[in-house]
Amino acid sequence: MKYVSTRGNAPSLDFEGVTLAGLASDGGLYVPEAWPRFSEAEIAAMAGLSYVELAVKVMLPFVTPSLTEDELRALCTRAYGRFAHQAVTPLAQFDQQHWLLELFHGPTLAFKDVALQLLGRLFEHFLAKREDHLTIVGATSGDTGSAAIDAVAGRERVDIFMLHPDGRVSDVQRRQMTTVLAPNVHNIAIDGSFDDAQAMVKRMFVDSHMTGRFRISAVNSINWARLMAQVVYYFAAALQLGAPQRKVAFSVPTGNFGDVFAGYVAAQMGLPIERLIVATNVNDILHRALSTGDYSAGTVTPTAAPSMDIQVSSNFERLLFDVGGRDGKALAEQMAGFESTKAMQLTNAQREGAAALFTSARADANDMVQAMAWAHEKCGQVIDPHTAIGLHAARAAEIDPAIPVVTLATAHPAKFRDAVERATGTRPTLPGRMGDLFERAEQYERLPGDYDAVRDFIEAHATPSA
Ligand SMILES: *Cc1c(COP(=O)(O)O)cnc(C)c1O
């Protein structure tokens, strides 16, 4: 498979190239040159496969020829062997129509593990082949940092430097990062906000002194390999609910549009998806874009679902490219306009293309609490605030009652136990595998909110590229 940039002005790369590159050199995002497509008979034959075997079937067209089938299987076996459930992403049921896809059985209790456990192993595989070294630099407000750290801890050829705003992440989130004591893991608590930390990371990516010495990479969901790994669980859930003979709808708590874009990819590959419901909190740029065509960023309002507190959804560009006729030059102009004014209008083709598959809904704090309470009282299911936003949107969408609707459970309720306790009166307990999280020793560096201090620290601890 070859990959092209959404802005039409970067070299096309193979899977290995896009995995290590992250962002394209023209500022665009990489997408496959064409969507691989399965026939109905091929999808029917996937029923009953183990998660690993299904992952190999779904991902093989995207990774060929960078990986052989056996190499892909070996990487998936190791990545998904770290999940606490045999089914990796099991389904649970709310009521006759509504289902819950549990994506939180990975090591750090959020769906990001599904992709990052594989990405960490892909990095190691490709870097060993090239005898090179990677320096991952990121800023996190919570879930991405812990999932990325767990995925690369102790791996050769990768160092990770993760910045978090001192005192502004939850105690569970901080401890999930700072109690990982591997020598290649460097946590840095910055005196400042998440935006300050993020600004320092962005500056480092264009600091030629640093990029000249180190191969610096990101692990956020602009990386194609992350989205690819997430396509698999849409197949897994739909097959269990009767696909390809029966259509299935999905409701997805959305921030950066990565997870729900993976659902779009599954549909392009032939999975019969009735609707993809984009669920947002009050930071509703995507709901406004999909319902009125107005994509304009406001200021971020903090909510009880912090991983969705986003105003600019990077992966939306991939959808606009695909439904807008794959015209990289036109999209580059449209995005340049957005970058200067923080606002743009979708074209008619983009609006109609998106409306064919996507619906959207917005949940405020009250909607979220009611969804958590309904799940708890009527269905005996304890769900986290992000998942509750998805469930609210799923129930509001008025999907034909004959069609199952699957809400993606993106985090374990114990990861946000204060908010869950406020809504349901029940305090979720951390799963056994997290049991001693509060006894483990922490190790992290405290640095002032000053770019030079952060750069000097990273330069002193990272390994130069080959
Ligand atoms: C990251 C995250 C999301 C948003 O996912 P996107 O791929 O950015 O849309 C939703 N819920 C949780 C718990 C997350 O960690």
Report the CATH number at residue 248. 3.40.50.1100
- Asked if 191 contacts 451 with a C-beta cutoff of 8 angstroms, the reply is no
- Ligand 1 atom closest to Cα of residue 230: 7
Strands 134-139 and 98-102: unpaired
- CA of 463 from ligand 1 middle (Å) equals 31
The finding on whether 386 has its CB within 6 A of some atom of ligand 1 is yes
Closest ligand 1 atom, residue 384 Cα: 13
Residues 6+ apart with CB under 8 A from 47: 239
* Atom number, ligand 1, closest to the C-alpha of residue 259: 7
Is the CB of residue 230 below 6 angstroms from any atom belonging to ligand 1? no
435 CB-near residues (< 8 Å, 6+ apart): none
For residues 426 and 372, give the distance between their C-alpha atoms in angstroms, rounded to a whole number.
Answer: 11
Q: Establish if 150 belongs to a structural domain.
A: no
Residue 419 lies in a domain: yes
Rounded (to 5) percent helix, strand, coil in the chain: 45, 15, 40
Task: Give, in degrees to the nearest 5, the angle at Cα 458 between 456 and 463.
Answer: 125
Facing residues of 164 across strands? 189
- Is the distance from the beta carbon of residue 32 to the nearest atom of ligand 1 less than 6 Å? no
Residue whose structure tokens are 């020598």: 183
Residue 176, domain member (yes or no): no
Kindly tell me the sign of the dihedral angle through the C-alpha atoms of 168, 172, 174, 177: negative
Collapsed DSSP state (helix, strand, coil) of residue 275:
strand
- For residue 371, CA distances in Å to 386, 387, 405, 414, 424 come to 10, 9, 15, 17, 10
Atom 1 of ligand 1: nearest residue by CA position: 307
145 ligand 1 Cβ < 6 A: no
Number of compact structural domains in the chain: 1
Q: Which of 429, 412, 418, 432 is nearest to 112 (CA)?
A: 412
Question: Which tokens hold the place of 23?
Answer: 């962002």
Question: Is the beta carbon of 221 within 6 A of some atom in ligand 1?
Answer: yes
Nearest-atom index, ligand 1, CA of 254: 9
Nearest to 228 by CA among 8, 78, 19: 19
Q: CA distances (Å), 370 to each of 19, 96, 303, 364, in order?
A: 40, 19, 15, 10
| Amino acid symbol at 123 | F
Q: What angle do CA 463, 456, 173 make, to 5 degrees?
A: 80
Distance CA 388, CA 394 (A): 10
Q: Which of 112, 129, 202, 329 is catalytic?
A: 112
- Count of H helices and E strands in the chain? 19, 15
Residues 277, 397: contact at Cβ < 8 Å? Answer: yes
Asked whether the beta carbons of 165 and 193 are under 8 A apart, the reply is yes
**How many angstroms separate the alpha carbon of residue 382 from the centre of ligand 1?**
18
257 lines ligand 1 (CB under 6 A): yes
Helical ranges in 308-384 per DSSP H? 316-323, 328-341, 348-355, 365-379
Can you say whether the dihedral through the CA atoms of 312, 318, 321, 323 is positive or negative?
negative
Residue 308 lies in a domain: yes
- At residue 391, the pLDDT reads 98
Chain position carrying tokens 């705003």: 165
* In a domain? residue 289: yes
Q: Would 160 be classed as within a structural domain?
A: no
Residues 308, 285 contacting (CB under 8 angstroms):
no
Strand partners, 150: none
316 lines ligand 1 (CB under 6 A): no
The atom of ligand 1 lying closest to the CA of 112 is: 15
Which atom belonging to ligand 1 lies closest to the Cα atom of 256?
8
CA of 453 to the centre of ligand 1 (A): 30
> What span, in angstroms and rounded, lies between the C-alpha atoms of 91 and 89?
7
Q: Is the peptide bond before 413 cis (omega within 30 degrees of 0)?
A: no
Determine the Cα–Cα distance for residues 300 and 317; give it in Å rounded to an integer.
20
- Residue 466 has a pLDDT of 81
- Closest ligand 1 atom to Cα of 258: 7
Task: Identify the pLDDT of residue 299.
Answer: 85
Say how many Å lie between the CA of residue 122 and the centre of ligand 1.
22
pLDDT the model gives residue 89: 98
Contact by Cβ (8 Å): 145, 175: no
From ligand 1's centre to the CA of 40, what distance in Å?
30
CA of 254 to the centre of ligand 1 (A): 6
- Any ligand 1 atom below 6 A from CB of 258: yes
| Structural domain includes residue 240 | yes
Annotated active-site residue 112? The verdict is yes
Q: Look at residue 198 in the predicted model and tell me its pLDDT.
A: 83
Query: Is the CB of residue 411 below 6 angstroms from any atom belonging to ligand 1?
Result: yes
CA distance 74 to 246: 32
CA 349, distance to chain mean position in Å, is 26
Whether 220 lines ligand 1, by a CB cut-off of 6 Å, is no
Query: What domain range is 359 assigned to?
Result: 91-110+224-424
Q: Are 19 and 75 in contact (CB under 8 A)?
A: no
User: Does 394 contact ligand 1 (Cβ within 6 A)?
Assistant: no
pLDDT along the chain (466 residues), means of 10: 96 95 88 98 98 98 98 98 96 98 96 97 96 93 90 95 90 93 97 85 89 89 93 98 98 96 98 98 95 92 88 92 97 95 96 97 97 97 97 98 98 93 93 89 96 97 91
**Substitution site in 224, 230, 256 for ligand 1 pocket (most atoms within 8 Å of beta carbon):** 256
Q: How far is the CA of 319 from the centre of ligand 1 (A)?
A: 17
Residue 98, domain member (yes or no): yes
CA-based nearest residue to 174, from 159, 158, 163, 161: 163
Distance from CA of residue 107 to its chain's centroid?
Answer: 15
CA atoms within 13 A on the CB side of 10: 23
In angstroms, what is the span from residue 297 Cα to ligand 1's centroid?
18
Q: What is the model's pLDDT at position 349?
A: 96
User: Which of 101, 105, 111, 315 should be mutated for ligand 1, with most atoms under 8 A from CB?
Assistant: 111
Nearest to 85, CA basis, from 226, 233, 219: 233
Which helix (H) or strand (E) segment is 118 a member of?
helix 112-130
Region of residue 238 (left: phi > 0; alpha: psi -120 to 50; beta: else): alpha
Q: How far is the CA of 255 from the centre of ligand 1 (A)?
A: 6
